[in-house]
Every structure is written in C-alpha cells, then in structure tokens.
Amino acid sequence: MRGRRLLLLIFITAALLTGCRETKVSQVVTIEEPEKMIYAPWPCFRGDSSRTGFASKCRGPNAPALLWKYETGHEIMSSPAVDEDGSVFIASDDGNIYALSYEGGFLWKYKTGNYASSGPAIGPGGMIVAGSDDSFIYALGRDGKLIWKYKTGYYLGASPAFATDGRILMSGEDGNIYCIGKDGNLIWKFKTGNEVYASPSISSDGIIYNGSRDGNLYALSGDGKLLWKYKAGGPISSTCAVNTDGNIFCGDESGGLFCLDKTGKLLWNHKFSKPVLSSPAVAPDGLCVIGDDDNKLYAFDKSGKPLWSTALGNKIFSSPVITRNKRVFTGCIDGNIYCLDGNGKIQWKFATGGEIYSSPALWDGRLYIGSYDNFIYVLGEIELL
C-alpha cells in the first residue's frame, strides 16, 4: 500500500469547511433488500463481494454515541469486517491484524511482516483473510492461528473477496489479480498493465471486475480469462460496485464516474473537477453515492442524473455506505464521520483524532471505522435505563 499511500498524500491539500449544498429529491423511501451470498453480517470491505456498500439490514445510529474505541499501535487505513457474533476484524499499520469482541475487548492479534492496510474478509468457517505490505496473503482461523500464507510479487493494500465456492480473489501492486483456493494454493492469476490498488469485485453470476492503474477496468471469467476491458479516462484506484442488475459503477483519477452494463457498454458517465479515489456505494434501485477529491459527496439516480451534492470538511477517500432508508455514512480527511439523510443533508458528524481513509461497516445499529489516530471507533446508541 506504500504506492497508494504516496498517491493519497500527493492528492491531500488543505481545505476549509464549507456549508452543505443539496438538491432535493422528491421523497425518501426505503429500498428493497437484495439477495446476497455472505459469510457474515459485514464480511469484507464494502459489505459484500460485489462491493455495493449497501447496508440492507442496518439503519446506523441516529445520533453519534461512542460505544467504545480501541487503540492499535499505528495508523489505520484498513476497513473493518464484522462477523455474526459481533467480533470485529481490522488491520493496522503496526503490521497486525486485530480481532476485537462486540464489547471492544481484545481477542487476539496476528503480526505480519510489514504495514497492514488491507481490509480483512471473513469466509467459510470463519476464515479471516487479509494482505500485508510484506507481499503475503494471510489466512487465519477464528482463533487467530495461521492456516496458510501465499506470497505475491509486491505490496498488498487491496481487500480480498470470497467467491460463493470459497475461492479468494485478491489484487496486488505487482499488477496481478489473484485467485487462491481455500487451501492457499494459486488457481490462476491475471496480469494487468500497471499496479492494482482497487479491490476485486464479484457479481452475482461470478464475473470478476477489477480496475488497474493502467486505466482499464477488467472483466474476468471465473477461470481467469479476459471477457472484456473498458478504457477509463485515467488510472483506476476506486473499487467498482456491481448492482443487482449486473451494472458496474467505478471512478477514475481523471475525475470520471462511469456506469457500464455487464457487456462493458457505457451506460452513463459524469465528470468531476478532481480525481476520484473513493469507491461508489450502490443501492438496488440504482442510487449511487460517491465522494470526490473536491470535498463533496455526490448522489446520482440509476440513469446518472445528479440528485444532490454536499460539501464536507475536506477530501473524501473513505467510501460511503447507503442504508435501506437511504441514509449515507462516510469518513472524511477532516477526521469526522458523517451521517447524511436521503436528501444529502448532514444529520450529524463525529470527530475522531485523525484523518479517515477507512470505510464504515454497519451492523446491529452500530458503525465501525478506523482512523489515522490509531483507533478503531464504534458508534451506536446508548439505551437510557
């Protein structure tokens, strides 16, 4: 993740907090829940292997009450995963992968050989998989013991995804997209033309999508064969989201946000003034929300029509989450966690002690996120007795 970290530092400049500006939508309605194959309530970066960022069963906290926070040994860029008993898994730049209990208690940590900014993924049997900048993919048991590790060619800052058959998809800064079996053996790898910072996404019909810094979005079959590729306007660091129709949403560093159908045909695109490093969140009805380097969060309908935009306090590298009632949660470089309603109006914000690159996880009325102040934060609502 060293290359991506340098890229982020290049894009960060000082910004002042501005007021929010929004274009009203007619009415906020709930969204029908999609059917997903998942191994935990929030099993990976973006909440599912399609990377939708859609929280179908959690509305998130109405007010930002801090339930607990836990300090790791270094900054956190990783995004958390949450299993069925509320245990939280997150990596830290101290090189450790952490497991914490529902109450915030320490369960275990596993030391890798370098910085760890990859968001862990939870798979069959509770297997936890994450990458490290030591170039290894690690598979750990629920007890934190090493099951296996696989060596790639360079840093690993992307987050793995589990296919429905338990295979693991991972991308690396050596330019490869990897498919690893449950036993840790390589099934196949696909070479792109440059580093790959974006995480792989898997559609409901098993197609794998991954952007590369060569400017292409690649569509691969389950056996690693190229189906098609789409040339974006610039390098791609944004992880694409695949909705229930099979449409693919992705941003690029030229400032583009584009939507493709499953054949690679362009359906719509939008041009921002600054690079897009955030990854889009997409709801089943086609609502798409994404952050931009211009300090704003944007929403679009399924046809690409802009719905609203809201200025936050600084650049947005965190990737937003949409809830069933169309609320939006995101982190921001200003150190705040934001909650917006379905019209783009800021409902609340909560200050952490550092910049936020981590993306939120939502489960059981709680929001989980990491910060550059070394802490993972868990927000919820405190019941009054």
Q: What is the mean pLDDT of each run of 10 residues along the chain (385 residues)?
A: 50 37 33 47 96 91 94 98 96 98 98 97 95 98 97 97 96 98 97 98 96 98 97 98 96 97 97 96 96 96 97 97 95 98 96 98 95 97 53
Q: Which domains does the chain have, with CATH numbers?
A: 2-380 (2.130.10.10)
pLDDT digits (tens, 9 = 90+) for 322-340: 999 899 999 999 999 999 9
Closest residue by Cα to residue 348 from 29, 60, 79: 60
Q: Are 113 and 146 in contact, with CB atoms under 8 Å apart?
A: no
Neighbours of 139 (CB within 10 A): 22
The model's pTM is 0.90
Interatomic CA distance for residues 340 and 123, integer angstroms: 31
Each residue's pLDDT tens digit, 97-114: 999 999 999 999 999 999
Within 10 A of 277 (CB to CB), how many other CB atoms are there?
A: 26
